[in-house]
Structure 1
Amino acid sequence: MLFKHLPDELFQALSGSNKTLIEAVLIDLADIFYDHADDPIKDKSVIIESIEDTLHKLDTLAWHDDQKESFDSPKTIHDYALRIYHRLVSTGWLVEEQELYRVSVLMTPQISMLLKALIEISHHGKRNYGATVLSILSNLESVANHPTERGVTLSQSAEAARDFSAHLNQILLGIRSLQLELFESRDPKAIVAGFFDLFVEGILITDYKTLKTSNNPFRFRRQILELTHAFLSDLDVLDNIAQCYADQQLISMDKAKAMVEKDCRDIIQTFSNIEQRLERIDEYRYRLEKRAADTARYMDSSRPGMANKIAGIISDAAKFDAPPVLKGMIGSRFIGVASAAQPSKRREPPPPRIMTPAEVSAEAIKVRDQQRRFHEARQVTLPKMESYLEKQLSNNPSKHILDFTIESVEDFVCFDHLRYVGSLGVSAKKIEDAFEIQFTHRYLDVHSFVECREFTVVRRSKAPC
């Protein structure tokens, strides 16, 4: 049974007249017992001090004696803390252990799990699913790359997908119930307050606004579905993942395969129908926001639906041959300018557009490659110049300007920059150490390419031959 691990008196503390005090104390005690860096077994004095700190934060203190106890009515914060402490011990929330004169306090695993679940329910609200979807994708990519070693992480992805799907259902049902509740209300303040308190602060996920943008958390859905389908279609990968399941969980191979297939299908089902579920959530959200917007707009001017009433008055007045005359209504502003205001209409998303890749002709690709190669050839780099000089001088100690050959664009660029080696900066220091350029005052026409001063390139003695 579900409650066989819990004390019978456990929920008495949360159902009596003092449940507000007990709830506030339990929420703060959860932080103490959930401290992962500390010992889960606490001293009694630490628990009493924590209860006192919680009571100091409350506005008012009032204790109701629901049952006869041996304690007097509390008068100080310490008395209140002792009374609450003994109530938690008597109902099973806290367990005392005594060793000589030292009294320790702890929570059983079942009570701790229950308290954690209750706090999560009370704080159940906004979530950010961008990180959740990224973690699922990261785990699936890890499984695809290392199915034998990390295949068990597929179960974590499936659990995260199931939790995500359950939360979407909770959002949908929460918006629907809130919509019915607010539609039945006739109090404008209650409608606006309920919208912000229950919907904006309690139901809406934090990254909801990004769902309609290019940076939305579900932009990796296609990769997730492709990886998951690949696991099911590739029998070798499926066997490797199942083997990892069997080794990690100590189960049979057949049972492991069944678990792998179930996890994959849960992920596929979650991310396949995500758009339809988000559209339903968006539809309920639009109705709810429209109701709240109408109410807020007409709170200070008139009532919701006044625009339709004004249209009806105008239609009735149009039936008369002469407009009726209102007597005694001069100066009365029973209908204001803002009364006929209508809320902005829902903006429909643009229809989907089929993206077709533009075809580039083979001639354009050829010209682009030729231009790219030409620009690369014009670039002056140190390795190019060193290679050109070594090729020209070969084993010769020196070479005259007219003996250099120019067979390509690279050769011409290197030859033209030999005259400016001294101004190329630190990067050309290596060439200056290996070769010396000796100029004369005479100008020569070299191979009908370029006219420049005559020079001779001499290999320095320390340069390799």
Structure 2
Amino acid sequence: MLFKHLPDEIFQALSGSNKILIEAVLYDLAEVFYDHAEDPIKDKSTIIESIEDTLHKLDTLSWQEEQKESFDSPKTIHDYALRIYHRLVNTGWLVEEQELYRVSVLMTPQISMLLRSLVEISSHGKRNYGATVLSILSNLESVAKHPKERGVTLSQSAEASRDFSAHLNQILLGIRSLQQELFASRDPKAIVAGFFDLFVEGILIADYKTIKTSNNPFRFRRQILEHAQEFLSNPETMGQVAQCYMDQQLISMAEAQALVEKDCRDIILTFSNIEQRLERIDEYRYRLEKRAADTARYMDSSRPGMANKVAGIIADVAKFDSLPVLKQVIGAKFVGMESAAQPTKRREPPPPRIMTPTEVSAEAIKVRDQQRRFHEARQVTIPKLQSYLERQMETKDDKHILDFSIESVEDFVCFDHLRYVGSLGVSAKKIENSFEIQFTDQFLDVHNFVECREFNVVRRSRA
């Protein structure tokens, strides 16, 4: 049986006339018993104080007598807390244990799991899929690197994938039912309020806007599929992961291999058809947003009271099976074809573009290398200049300008900058300490390359 581990009276507290008080108390008691840093067995006084704190937060208190009880009608917060406490003990939500004069209260594991599930259902809220997808990818990468030691994390990735897939289905069905509910409503205020309260706050994914961007949470889908397919196609990796399953879960090798194969196929199935389900979700979302936007547009007006008047006209017209002919409205034209708002066009995504690598010709590579070498040759550095001087001077103590040779672009650039050694800064001090440039007032033409003032390069004395 589905509820064989639960008491028969467990749901009586949530189905009676006092269920609002019981629900509020159980919601707060969930936090008290879920505190991982404290002892799960609580004192009776602690539980009663927690119930009193919950009742203080409620606006009104009203206890309905459901059956003959020995207690008087509650008059104070403490009386209400005691009545609710005994109600929870009698229906099986709380279990009392007595040691001498000390009474302790606890929840059985089955009741604790039930309460945790009910709290999660009531506060399902938004989810962030980026962290879920990243955790799945991280676990698969860990399994790929260390299949024998960390292969069991594959089951966690598969469980997260199944939970992720189930939540997508819940979003799809939730939007569909919400769409039918709002489309059937004739109250414009209810349509707009329902859109924001039920859809935007309750169903929409937290990072839904990022799905259409380059930083979307599903950009790692290809790596996830590759890892899962690699595990299935590689017998060695499959055997190591199955061995880890067998050691951790104490099952046979055949059962472990079947579990590994099932987990891999669940991951592949989840991330293979994710685009189709996201497209259906986007289609329902577009219809829902269009309905709410059109309703809000008709309600919005700069004239005082016009929104209420138009809403009243729409509500009155909805009562007729066939639309009446409004002959007196034709001349006024405050509601007519001219005032009908045009629905916004749906923005279609751009078609996919195939990226092809561009091949660079050998001639272009050759020209690029020549240009790079030419620019490198034109750069003047102190080591180049010093090497040129040492090569030209060799063992001579002085040398005339016409005795210098120019055999390449580097030699020409170095020769042209010999005249400016004194203005090259601190880095050229080493050359100035070794050589001295002595100029005259006469201009000479050197090797038909350059015309400049005559100078001699003299090696300075080492002493």
Scaled to the shorter chain, the TM-score interval is 0.7 to 0.9
Superposed, 1:374-393 pairs within 5 Å as: none
The 1:441/1:380 distance shift into structure 2, 3 A limit, reads closer
1:439 equivalenced with 2:436 (yes/no): yes
| Aligned pair partner of 1:454 in 422, 434, 457 | 457
The 1:147/1:335 distance shift into structure 2, 3 A limit, reads same
Deviations 1:191-215 (A, max 9, x none): 2222222111111111112211222
1:114 equivalenced with 2:92 (yes/no): no
Secondary structure (helix, strand or coil) at the match of 1:93 reads coil
The 1:397/1:212 distance shift into structure 2, 3 A limit, reads same
CA displacement at 1:177 relative to structure 2 = 1.4
CA distance in 1, matches of 2:96, 2:406: 95
Higher mean C-alpha deviation, range 257-266 or range 101-110 = 101-110
Secondary structure (helix, strand or coil) at the match of 1:96 reads strand
CA displacement at 1:404 relative to structure 2 = 11
Deviations 1:188-238 (A, max 9, x none): 222222222211111111111221122211111112112211221122222
Structure 1: which 5+ runs fail to align?
307-311, 317-325, 461-465
The 1:329/1:79 distance shift into structure 2, 3 A limit, reads closer
Structure 2: which 5+ runs fail to align?
300-306, 318-322
Normalising by the residue count of structure 2, what TM-score does the alignment of the two structures yield? 0.80
Identify the residue that residue 198 of structure 1 maps to in structure 2: 198
CA displacement at 1:102 relative to structure 2 = 2.6
1:154 equivalenced with 2:154 (yes/no): yes
Identify the residue that residue 280 of structure 2 maps to in structure 1: 280
CA distance in 1, matches of 2:108, 2:185: 44
Identify the residue that residue 352 of structure 1 maps to in structure 2: 352
Secondary structure (helix, strand or coil) at the match of 2:434 reads strand
Superposed, 1:20-419 pairs within 5 Å as: 20-299=20-299, 300=307, 301=310, 303=314, 332=332, 335=335, 339-372=339-372, 419=421
Deviations 1:78-109 (A, max 9, x none): 22122212212222212222233332222222
The 1:374/1:75 distance shift into structure 2, 3 A limit, reads farther
CA displacement at 1:37 relative to structure 2 = 2.0
The 1:385/1:176 distance shift into structure 2, 3 A limit, reads same
Q: Which amino acid aligns with 2:457?
A: E
Identify the residue that residue 319 of structure 1 maps to in structure 2: none
The 1:421/1:154 distance shift into structure 2, 3 A limit, reads farther
CA displacement at 1:293 relative to structure 2 = 2.2
CA distance in 1, matches of 2:152, 2:396: 70
Higher mean C-alpha deviation, range 155-164 or range 206-215 = 206-215
CA distance in 2, matches of 1:78, 1:270: 52
CA distance in 2, matches of 1:68, 1:449: 120
CA distance in 2, matches of 1:447, 1:41: 102
1:423 equivalenced with 2:425 (yes/no): yes
CA distance in 2, matches of 1:446, 1:31: 94
CA displacement at 1:358 relative to structure 2 = 2.4
The 1:361/1:82 distance shift into structure 2, 3 A limit, reads same
Secondary structure (helix, strand or coil) at the match of 2:103 reads strand
CA distance in 1, matches of 2:96, 2:414: 88
Deviations 1:11-60 (A, max 9, x none): 11111111111111111111122122222222222222221111111111
Identify the residue that residue 12 of structure 2 maps to in structure 1: 12
CA distance in 1, matches of 2:399, 2:251: 82
Secondary structure (helix, strand or coil) at the match of 2:156 reads helix
CA distance in 2, matches of 1:44, 1:401: 107
CA distance in 2, matches of 1:406, 1:253: 80
CA distance in 1, matches of 2:395, 2:90: 103
Q: 8 Å contact 2:231–2:238 — kept in the other structure? A: yes
CA displacement at 1:264 relative to structure 2 = 0.9
CA displacement at 1:442 relative to structure 2 = 5.2
CA distance in 2, matches of 1:262, 1:169: 20
Q: 8 Å contact 1:191–1:295 — kept in the other structure? A: yes
CA displacement at 1:412 relative to structure 2 = 8.7
CA distance in 2, matches of 1:228, 1:399: 76
Secondary structure (helix, strand or coil) at the match of 1:6 reads coil
CA distance in 2, matches of 1:398, 1:119: 95
Normalising by the residue count of structure 1, what TM-score does the alignment of the two structures yield? 0.79
Secondary structure (helix, strand or coil) at the match of 2:287 reads helix
CA distance in 1, matches of 2:405, 2:259: 73
Deviations 1:223-262 (A, max 9, x none): 2112211221122222222222222222222222111111
Deviations 1:370-416 (A, max 9, x none): 4456666777889x779x87xx79xx999988999999888998996
Q: 8 Å contact 2:74–2:80 — kept in the other structure? A: yes
Higher mean C-alpha deviation, range 113-122 or range 97-106 = 97-106
Q: Which amino acid aligns with 1:164?
A: F
CA distance in 2, matches of 1:401, 1:20: 107
Q: 8 Å contact 2:399–2:456 — kept in the other structure? A: no
CA displacement at 1:276 relative to structure 2 = 0.8
The 1:65/1:261 distance shift into structure 2, 3 A limit, reads same
CA displacement at 1:273 relative to structure 2 = 0.7
CA distance in 2, matches of 1:26, 1:350: 51
